[in-house]
Structure 1
């Protein structure tokens, strides 16, 4: 994802960092590095309310700040406040112009130690002074920061945006490239551009006789193309867990009429779905008897997402053109058994008569006390007078159901034993 804007922004993408864990020490500083402390100083000097800063520090230390997405000119995250739904907070940072970047890169490339320090996760001690001498103020000042939040607090910054900024200081401690990304350029572009300038500098020195660098001997193109290529490496193992989609900031918001939160949800779900397919494909390569998961219908996929994200149920129902209650009960069924459970909810079928009779016999043998009044219809056994029901799936499992508000709802996970499934349905 790229931010729309000037050409200075087109070379930088975004990075999403997982939510930082809470800190136990309430007096520990948010930044240990000198560049991280400069960020905190800029935040606190721009604040109009020390009390909100204090609450922001408390929010940050308590783990209220979610995943942080850093892009050119902004850092954004969801911050939990007093209401159930989190607020969306953003800190805007002034980006460098193309001319400022050109001067800054010349300053960095002048010394090989600068590049080595950056790659080691350190900001070279003299870089800020050298850059300022070249007319580029690397570290942000109070005038460079602009907090924003969709909460009703009028503070500048509000406690949610302040919490985000304090957590960004912790990110800066770990990776100085975060600061450079906020200023408008990402790490891949920076390292490539610094490498290009180093090569140009080395070529100039070699031509002038000030360097021992020699260019490798040229090789005819025909011979190079005929050379035998090495075999491709083995496919890597899938990651331990799927990644998250990027957070949409105000600067990267989609076209009017597109719900940003809905788009974020779909991006995160796509990452999860792709991860599971990749893991399944790796198993297919290793085990001949493994099959890829079946493709889902549009309705099944919508129900799957609703089961994973209950807060999106209303949005999904509107998109499907179905009542919210129908989507809710379908999502509940999916959560207990996936596509087979949804099929049991929506479709009645006629199993072999002997299968239903064996279930009735098992229930009569296991129940203590008066026999349960059971009514059989196709694949369903209903306990009359107790709002409990068992449904036999074509997978051979029994699915427990209960009647709530006049409708049948899945009660729990299926079981091959109808006695166990009925105990779940009866709350036993």
Structure 2
């Protein structure tokens, strides 16, 4: 939680966060970009590790955020206290004007910020106008009373802690860049209402409105209102009739497929009505084995489930496990369950770097690697690397590895989920 100080809300103070054992500091992509700016700038990786250790231990006190600066008192391992500051250049008035004009033109950006989200296209559109919201190489300038001229453990710990704050609220970054949340939203509202007020002063054009002329012509009856979207999919006709089914037709399978088709049609209609011009609907082009899992996710009757298992080359137990993986991650989740692949080249370099950064030296578990699977020795936990670079938690139950949660960017987070048990 934070509190606001002053009439202009130009400073926010966040209470000290609890220790972050067993989890990554940044879950959002913008939080990770913040940490990348720190890690690309710092010259001493040892200071970064020491700072990460302090932040994990909860040694960072209350964090003060104001334009151009973040501040906190950090307790060192020897119990001495140091004031750490990190400076970030504020945006100029002209840059803020360009950002606000851009945001008003794209209503989705404002809605995303209000939902405490910072989509990549918002940052990209801002960059196109010459406004860099996220820090880059050398933008995070350290100051600490310990006397270090580069990032020390104290300023690094402060940055790692602020990454957790950014995950919760991207307005923290905008305040560092010079604008408080209330002032920013007021400016956006003022820009949004200005065109409407200007339109009210435009004189009415001469002539007759086309819609009024058409209505007055009495050519056609008025069109009915659009029907409301039903809350649930419709019920398809039942194939249970007195007429026997044609040879080779399974009535149970046909009834289940019709119900799934109605549900999918309802979902597509909902997505189409909610999608904007920049939100294309996803296209599914699944192979037969994956499509069978998608269909089985609807809990068909046993005879249909047996047909889906046979048709996809699985046993009933294997299909049930694939459905569980689908529940946690769709087609990518099922692929991670059933596909073991050799991690090499650049993918291996990135995986090793992620594993190295996920834990402090004294907390790192002993991991046994096989293909894209890392098993924590002496535990029932395992993490699997997907081809998209995400980590998936697995747990050994009754002698087999089963998925227990969705993917994570950080292997420590995934392994903690695996050892905690299934998300059910």
For the aligned pair, the TM-score class normalised by the smaller chain equals 0.3 to 0.5
- The higher radius of gyration belongs to 1
**So what's the TM-score if we normalise by structure 1?**
0.45
